[in-house]
Structure 1
């Protein structure tokens, strides 16, 4: 079956890498994810082991949808008895560029003949009507709608006058691993953190440090990746509740989860890691980090330390720093560029640092004072960000070096 593994902006190629490593069959890579050809066993493997995918969506149809009547007609022509019955609840979610919107791809097609598709809520309502009308006509009853916790979620992904129709296999977004319970301000999603640490390519040999760790997500995802700890071993998936597919796949998923949990225990017991430190100055963040490390079983492998990143002691030579500093958008305030200058001034003497910094502030490079070796454009929620790979040596230093703020 054809499955779309969706990915956050900028992470599709990284997702494709991990799909290949898992032995999953790739049909093609798109900007919004990776199209896979999966049997039921491979689907269970993908759900339990993929780190960067945000959702797994089963492709049902790709239909014409220039107006509301086209959408209704196309959705009603699909035989929904293959996946739905009247005893299980449904919800419809619509996203993407609606026909006639500025974001829609331009193509010559049939002009709309009926009412336009006003918004995503209207599109979802129209699709729900089509599904319920068809099932009522064919089996005499219709499924109930549950917007909060449906058994089956239908996803419409619009591309102008074309609409991809999918069923959400994963259910809750796949960044919900099951280990994060304590929230801190502006948390980083686990799927994006997994993409960042994969791009940073930590080999488990050099020391690893996040001096502004928040709830510890980057460090946890880095160690999980290195030890091969499956991200989906602690959670359930929507497809297990489907009327006609859930039971057979549930057995495969249970077996996959049990094996993943067994492998994780062995990997943790036999782990030989260098210094791995999750640090922050905020005590609430450190409490959250400790809780999350304990839930994954990594609390004996990772040191948690209260550190002011502007004043911290020199880490071991060759340390990789992977961190997500304040951007000034939600935390950090007006002095955020002073923070960047202070970090640069204080870290410059440290020996052979390998820096991977998630930058969401347009003034970061100028304030930090070094050109990146390379950068990767990403998206953190609504924010456009960049993952910067930096080396603090003279060949990358800007002409006007940053000056530390003596008042801080």
Structure 2
């Protein structure tokens, strides 16, 4: 197994936003963030793995590379899997499941490969194999090199542990956090979302502003590992706690749907940041500029591939752009949409858009402006 003081750790990211996650990891003091397709590689010990899960807002999952070996046929895979030091990481009393991928290798049957590793773990360690296990080992066989990694997160990290109310096509918290960072949000300026849905952008921004940990209210798969130290982890959480959220509001959400506003308020309350937020029911044409220093308007409007008929949306985008240009001088605008024509319909002076990013099976881009004049 790899030296436990220098694990290779893979932070899964939405393709297209890997550099933004690398910037977040770098700012948080993680060692050697390096982008690659689908994520960011860093290095560190188990405490860094815990910290990545607990503190990084943009990572979808945190995988740790446990080790690798060559295997050219199933019998060799079986033999070498039995010699792998499973007991250094896994506990015999915790169920586990194995997922395998085979590429360009003499071992080409991924299910057979997974079964061999599962059998080795069951017979050498004594752990139960279960398809419902929270602990997931990922075996990748590429060019006859077997690489064994462990998903240390469990449920996707966008599941913060407190959001209970969602509407149509919700933005995942991890994706919202990365779009906020890509739009230049640093935690110090007001944020307004005029189509706030369940409030994801505003709750993420508010938490960032006071240093609330994204993983503070949930559990992780690594808590079931042999390497886990509950006392040390508790101290880590306590040491990283942010400040108590206090008003006046700096994060403003509106939506024409009363149910969306109720959801936003419920989620903000569950997150503990209600004093920082203000949610009001209203249409785009009713939108008013808050009496506060200019900041960021960020919005994920409906688009044809997501909700509704695209032809009916041009007027909505036009109204949004007109209102922002007339009432929000000094504010920056960031819009997430799948359609460049809809973005153009706003009449806003957008900079070149960001890369395509998958959002629920639809490719979207971030369009943003400099400060409006």
| TMscore range, shorter length | 0.7 to 0.9
Aligned to 1:390: 369
User: How far does the alpha carbon of each residue in 1:13-36 deviate from its partner, in whole angstroms, 9 at most, with x for none?
Assistant: 222222222222125332322222
CA change 1:27–1:296 in 2 (3 A) is: closer
CA deviations over 1:34-61 (Å, ceiling 9, x no partner): 2222223333322211111111111023
Provide, for residues 349-383 of structure 1, a one-character-per-residue CA deviation record: whole Å limited to 9, x for no partner: 22233101111224223322345214222222322
Which of 274, 287, 302 aligns to 1:312? It is 287
Paired residues for 1:123-134 under 5 Å: 123=110, 125-134=111-120
Which residue of structure 2 lines up, in the alignment, with residue 20 of structure 1? 26
| Residue 94 of structure 1, CA deviation | 4.5
Q: Deviations over 1:77-100 (max 9, x none)?
A: 6333333354321122346xx536
1:277 lines up with 2:252 in the alignment: yes
- Change in Cα spacing, 1:73 to 1:278, as seen in structure 2 (3 Å) is farther
Determine helix, strand or coil for the equivalent of 1:268.
Answer: coil
**Corresponding position of 2:156:** 173
Tell me, yes or no, if structure 1 residue 200 matches structure 2 residue 183.
yes
Give the match for residue 258 of structure 1. Answer: 238
- How big is each residue's C-alpha offset from its partner over 1:128-173, in whole Å with a ceiling of 9 and x where there is no partner? 322233245535x4x333333x242112456676564211111111
Match in the other structure for 1:245: 227
**Structure 1 contact 357–388 (Cα < 8 Å) conserved:** yes
Equivalent position of 1:397 in the other structure: none
CA RMSD of aligned residues (A): 2.9
**Post-superposition offset of 1:393:** 6.2
Equivalent pairs counted in the alignment come to: 363
2:179 alignment partner, SS class: helix
Partner of 1:47: 53
Which whole-Å deviations, capped at 9, do the CAs of 1:62-89 have from their partners, x for residues lacking one? 4567887776676556333333354321
Which structure 2 segments of 5+ residues have no match? Answer: 1-6
Is the 2:245–2:275 Cα contact (8 Å) retained in structure 1? no
CA–CA distance in structure 2, aligned partners of residues 239 and 134 of structure 1: 21
Is the contact made by 1:76 and 1:130 (CA closer than 8 Å) also made in structure 2?
A: no
Whether contact under 8 Å (2:96, 2:135) holds in the other structure is: yes
Q: 1:75 to 1:7 in 2, by over 3 A?
A: farther
Give the TM-score normalised by structure 2. 0.86
Distance 2:186 2:39 in 1: 26
- Matching residue of 2:3: none
Is 2:305 the partner of 1:321?
A: no
Q: CA contact under 8 A between 1:12 and 1:29: conserved in structure 2?
A: yes
